[in-house]
Chain A
């Protein structure tokens, strides 16, 4: 792990909860969408807050893909889960949602789980035989 990789993981952590929060704020303005008018979900993206949320989630996607290119899925997901603490803080102080003590405890447990996994190596799987970094034809591995 080097600085570049830590920055990529930090990007994954920050973009995801920020994007979710913007989406949440926007969807509260859009209102409830019932099973009967599911197509309204497509129109929801015209709400500016939902739009900003989507842009942030695109940032998340780019950093997430980068991280997955050099680290295990079971490393990247938990390692970037620290963002949930950020999400809780955003929900509490900006969206003014009530977070009970039980939910805070849940968030604390999730964070502890993150601590477990990040103390280990980022790659444990078999190295891909074909690793086509030179652009040569890749073969399947299973």
Chain B
């Protein structure tokens, strides 16, 4: 019983860590990639090495990757305590809701009613998965 509670607590702590680090990472990566532009077109025009060098020199990209690394190790920690069918969808879906706010505030994306509805459905789905 106690072991089960610890397992659950560690699982949800991991989910929290994943959501925070992953949201920060997503926003930074998105911003960095938008600054670089459509990498498919850029690769055709200037070649792959040019694209890679542009990406690797982006400050936003590098800090974003660091955030993702934290998120990844939080995921490994979580998976050692709980099922992938809980950790995977719960962390990623909550990250999606957090990202809707972050993208509106930091990336100035127009999060319309359709996207908010999507966020609510996902949030409800997460609650059901956690029951």
A interface majority secondary structure: helix
Complex CA gap A38/B33 in Å reads 32
Whether A131 and B27, one on each chain, are in contact in the complex, defined by CB atoms closer than 8 angstroms, is: no
In the complex, number of A-B residue pairs with CB atoms less than 8 Å apart: 193
- One digit per residue, 1 when the CB lies within 8 angstroms of any chain B CB and 0 when it does not, for chain A 42-59 equals 001000001000000100
Complex formed: what's the CA distance from A69 to B73 in Å? 25
Interface size for chain A: under 10, 10 to 19, 20 to 34, or 35 or more residues? 35 or more
Give the interface centre of B34, B50, B81, B109 by most chain A CB atoms within 10 Å. B34
Complex: how many Å from CA A135 to CA B42?
8
Chain A residues positioned under 8 Å from B118 (CB to CB): 78, 113-114, 116-117
19 residue pairs of the A-B complex, CB under 8 angstroms, read A23-B76, A27-B80, A32-B7, A38-B77, A57-B72, A69-B38, A72-B103, A73-B102, A73-B103, A74-B109, A77-B96, A81-B92, A87-B88, A106-B130, A116-B118, A126-B108, A128-B35, A132-B35, A133-B37
